[in-house]
Structure 1
């Protein structure tokens, strides 16, 4: 279900969210990154359209807006450009005050800037009083929103220190720690945090 759509009749969520930024949720479409269980969730153009429908602001993705195979490849490449930008930001030993973009490969920077140039979803007030989001091409518009979100995050010096890799060795997610003390370790307490607690209890024989 889209973060902007509260329809309780919507189908169960297919993709994981909750990383704290749209661009970080998008990274999670390559599940278990860096582990032997790595799994591609954007398996085909329809899967990309499904992610846009669930996680982006546009609840409606017409059949004509489903991307081509080339569009899917570009969407995956954009995801990896976002990952490159984020990992540059959190690399240990990066000098304080160094913009993440300064260490980003030219190809990734070009791809992010190009994607961010496209129009993003626009709000429309429905007759019911509800706010809806519209784009002529919802997939391209949502990818533009992801690129802009990643660029904004990279330029937000106050947020960069709160980017965290999940402490679970089997997860691979990166999240933004919004907690007051800034000591959150898990991308999700309900999933990774709970699993870590169970593992710790088993190790103690509890």
Structure 2
């Protein structure tokens, strides 16, 4: 009873309403503080969880990047061990008019071996082609087609080379000559078959495209 009297004491007398107001106000403030503390704890846990997820994602991305880098380094090392085939073929031209007013074209192929294997070019009678072209806009049409040979000798029985080997790191020049009918626009192409070893390498890697060595060039010949 003493406890009940003590609890009821503030509500007796003239200031009981004021005391009740302060009591309710105190309960309200306590509830607000409790709710704020609870919400803060929840937000802190969510933020911490989100931070941990972000860190895990960053670590995963970093790990994946390191794995891809390692794979790239392994591929590069494998290519170095297995070697690679690479060339740079430039078409250089020289236009002349001789004493008989014949128009001639000297074509020099500058072949550089940039790979780690000897480069073998299998040639044929149509390895070099000169097209005299006409055009409308971007539509081209061949008017004349010429196939100069890469001659080995011009004796009684002329012959031409069927294969050329460019050693690793070396350069070789192949020279062609042809009379041309007139001034105008010409398209020059060079293509050579790859050797059997390179074919086997491409087959082992399931590569079916670009199975020839190829280079091309447009030139426009006009009177001086």
* TM-score grouping bracket, smaller chain normalisation: under 0.3
Whichever of the two has the greater Rg, that structure is: 2
TM-score (norm 2): 0.19
Structure ranking higher on relative contact order (CA contacts 8 Å, 6+ apart):
1
In terms of fraction of residues, the more helix-rich structure is 1
